[in-house]
Every structure is written in C-alpha cells, then in structure tokens.
C-alpha cells in the first residue's frame, strides 16, 4: 500500500504546486496567519477530515483515524512567512508588500495537505491515527509549538515527525542527525549610554560609537578565547545603530544580535562572559549600559531511534539518492519543543533549485518544488515504520 500512496502523491503533485504557489503569493507573518489558517481549515473541511482550528493561537490540527489499530503519530508543517520583500521574478511572487515565504513553509503546508488528501483515499487500510499538525509562528519566539503542546492536543500522540525543505541541501538528498540537529537561537540587545558632543572636541564626550566598537570586538573573543575549542557557539551582532550627523559624537549606541549554542551549559557560559565584557568595557569608559538577553528556542535534539527510522524510510523513497547523518546546523527550530515532549525526529529534504544559490531568509529565496512529494513520501514512510516498532 505504501507504494500506492507514493504513486498517488506523484499524481497529485500538480495540485501540490498550485497550493504552494497560492500560499507563496499570500504570505502572512508569525502570529498573524489568520488567512492561511482559514485556508488550511477549509481544505480539511472539503476533505471531510475532522480538524480543530485556533489551537494554541492560529494552529490547525486535523486527525485521520485509520481503519486498522495502531499508534497515533503527528506529522508537522509550519505555515508562517517572514517580513522580507520578495525580489524574485516569478509568476507566483508575493503579492503582499514586505512579506514573503523566504523559508519554505508554504511548501511544508502544501505537501502535508496533499498527503492528507492522498491518505484519505486509503483510510480503511491505514493502521493507527495520523495527526496533521499545522503550526503557526515558527519564525518568531516564543513560537507556535509551545502553546500547541500546552493546549493538550498532542497528549495522546506517540511520536512526532517533521521535515524542512532545505534550499542549501542538494535536491534528492536527505539529512538528519541522531542527536543534536539544530541550535538554540537567542537574542540580545545592548544599549550604551555615553555623553555626546561636538565632533571636534572628543575629550569632552564619552563616545558611544567607539565604546560600541570595543564591544563588537570583545564579544567575538568570547567564542575564540573563552570557550573550549571543542564546544560550539556563535555570537553575531546584526545591528549597530548610533549617531545622526557627521560632526556630532553620538551619546548612545544600540547593538542587537544573536547567540547560537548546542548545549545548555555553553549558553550559560556565553551569557556570563557577555555580562562581564559589557560591564568591564563600560566601566572603563565611565558610561552606563543596559543588557537585555532573551532566551529563544532550545536546541533541537532528535531521538536516535526515530532518526534511524527516517534514514530507513529514505531507502524506500525512490526519488532520494542520498540519506546521510550530518553535523548540527546553527539555525534554530521550535520543533525542538516536540522532541522534548515526545519521541520524534526532524530532517532536511534537499530542495536546492538548479542554478539558484540563495539561502533561507533571502529576498530571492526559492525551492525546487519537486522536493515536496519527496518530503511527503518520507514522512508517511516513517509513519508506517513507526507503526511496526
């Protein structure tokens, strides 16, 4: 039957593309995805598959109970977009100014919806219960996964699987890990309050820009000189805002950035080292400061047995040429909350478009759409393999 499901997904591929391109033209940012959630709910309404809307916010959970006994397994897809202007020259370019699907969540939604449509045709012969978990707000902490879990709708689920169409991984390649797979992403803001003045009289000021520059340099030394070289962390300053004229010394500087880590103790060490560096530099320059550190999603840790099932499932998907274990990536994912609560695993489905090298969150981001049925086939194959555990 599994091969019949795979074949049906191939037959429904054009509809999968249509859904993805529709969603791509009408993106909605995190926590504002009401139209997308309604589209998903309407799809299940037409299929006659029971669903719950507004789960944990804008989440939509549909449930297909198979005709044979078995386990209850959730398959997750996220559906929020990003506040980025779409710069692609394609017919399905975003019609919403300043908003685009720059991470493939439109594809995740399309592949799960069509998988549900295909499985409804085989319902009587399917073991167990499939939960189609459509999650809002993956891109922006606190995210949608945690409130969905807190709603209790997944309490009786036995396992959770998910995938990301990964635009920097070659098409027909699947990647996963049997341990830590993605980093914990945190955010911080530093405001240096100095004393501004005339550009020709620096000795009468406390230059927030030069102090901020010292901070940018010193914070990089935490990873290179304070952490064990065998541990992993990233400190990135993404914004440095200060000054408003060429001849005025700025009185305030604002630095905003992110910390990425794989282990909890490294996260705490980085925070402590940042506090010491900021306090020391600001004290040496006789200025005040504020330091706001926001902890984001935890690292995504796959369960080894479930990750092995993904690798085994890949061997039964004809379109996959390579299935491999990889080192962790420093991007973050709130799928991490699911594997903290339930057995499960996350994997990348290679979706690199030929001649298209733009990464995730880029204004010209796009995916190889033929990766969508590959992702759907792998998810349902893993589902069947878990039923046989």
Q: Binding site, residues?
A: 103, 105, 139, 164, 361
- Cα separation, 203 vs 228, in Å, equals 40
Q: What is the DSSP string of 220-267?
A: HHIIIIIS-TTS-EEEEEEEEEE-SSTTEE-SEEEEEEEEEESSHHHH
Q: What is the spatial order of strands in the sheet that 233-242 belongs to? A: 233-242, 252-261, 184-193, 288-294
| Residue found under tokens 């594997």 | 339
Select from 82, 128, 141, 111 the least CA-distant residue to 12: 111
- Cα separation, 220 vs 87, in Å, equals 33
Q: Which of 28, 33, 78, 80 is catalytic?
A: 80
Query: From the annotation, which residues make up the binding site for Mn(2+)?
Result: 103, 105, 139, 164, 361
Whether 138 is catalytic is yes
| Residue found under tokens 């400190």 | 235
The encoded tokens of residue 75 equal: 């398959």
Q: Exposed (0-12), middle (13-18) or buried (19+): which is 228, by Cβ within 10 Å?
A: exposed
Query: In DSSP terms, which residues pair with 59 in a beta bridge?
Result: 55
- Cα separation, 383 vs 316, in Å, equals 13
Task: Read off φ and ψ for residue 348, nearest 5 degrees.
Answer: -100, 130
Query: In DSSP terms, which residues pair with 129 in a beta bridge?
Result: 65, 72
- Cα separation, 254 vs 115, in Å, equals 47
Whether 333 is catalytic is no
Alpha carbons within 13 A on the beta-carbon side of 138: 27
Q: Which of 33, 86, 138, 366 is catalytic?
A: 138
The number of angstroms, rounded, from the C-alpha of 86 to the middle of its chain's C-alpha atoms is: 19
3-state class (DSSP) for residue 128: strand
Catalytic amino acids? 80, 138
């Amino acid at each position: 039957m599994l091969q019949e499901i795979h074949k049906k997904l191939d037959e429904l591929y054009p509809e999968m593309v249509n859904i993805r391109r529709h969603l791509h033209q009408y993106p909605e940012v995190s926590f504002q995805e009401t139209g997308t959630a309604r589209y998903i709910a309407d799809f299940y309404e037409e299929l006659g598959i029971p669903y719950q809307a507004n789960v944990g916010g804008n989440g939509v959970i549909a449930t297909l109970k198979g005709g044979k006994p078995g386990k209850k397994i959730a398959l997750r897809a996220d559906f929020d977009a990003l506040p980025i202007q779409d710069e692609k020259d394609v017919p399905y370019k975003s019609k919403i100014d300043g908003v685009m699907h720059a991470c493939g969540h439109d594809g995740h939604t399309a592949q799960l919806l069509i998988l549900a449509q295909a499985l409804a045709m085989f319902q009587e012969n399917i073991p167990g219960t499939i939960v189609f978990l459509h999650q809002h707000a993956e891109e922006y902490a606190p995210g949608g996964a945690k409130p969905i879990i807190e709603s209790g709708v997944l309490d009786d689920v036995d396992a959770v699987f998910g995938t990301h169409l990964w635009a920097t991984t070659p098409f027909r390649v699947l990647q996963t890990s049997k341990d830590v797979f993605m980093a914990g992403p945190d955010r911080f803001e530093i405001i240096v309050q100095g004393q501004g003045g005339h550009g020709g009289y620096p000795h009468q000021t406390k230059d927030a820009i030069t102090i901020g520059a010292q901070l940018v340099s010193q914070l990089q030394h935490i990873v290179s000189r304070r952490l064990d070289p065998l541990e992993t962390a990233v400190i990135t300053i993404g914004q440095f805002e200060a000054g408003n004229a060429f001849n005025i010394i700025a009185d305030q500087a604002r630095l905003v950035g992110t910390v990425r880590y794989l282990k909890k103790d490294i996260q705490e060490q980085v925070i402590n080292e940042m506090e010491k560096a900021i306090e020391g530099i600001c004290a040496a320059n006789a200025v005040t400061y504020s330091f706001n550190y926001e902890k984001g999603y935890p690292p995504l840790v796959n369960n080894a047995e479930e990750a092995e099932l993904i690798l085994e499932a890949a061997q039964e998907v004809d379109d996959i040429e390579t299935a491999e274990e990889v080192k962790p990536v420093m991007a973050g994912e709130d799928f991490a909350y699911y594997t903290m609560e339930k057995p499960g695993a996350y994997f990348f489905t290679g979706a690199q478009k030929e001649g298209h090298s733009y990464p995730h969150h880029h204004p010209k981001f796009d995916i190889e759409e033929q990766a969508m049925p590959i992702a759907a086939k792998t998810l349902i194959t893993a589902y069947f393999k878990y039923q046989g555990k």
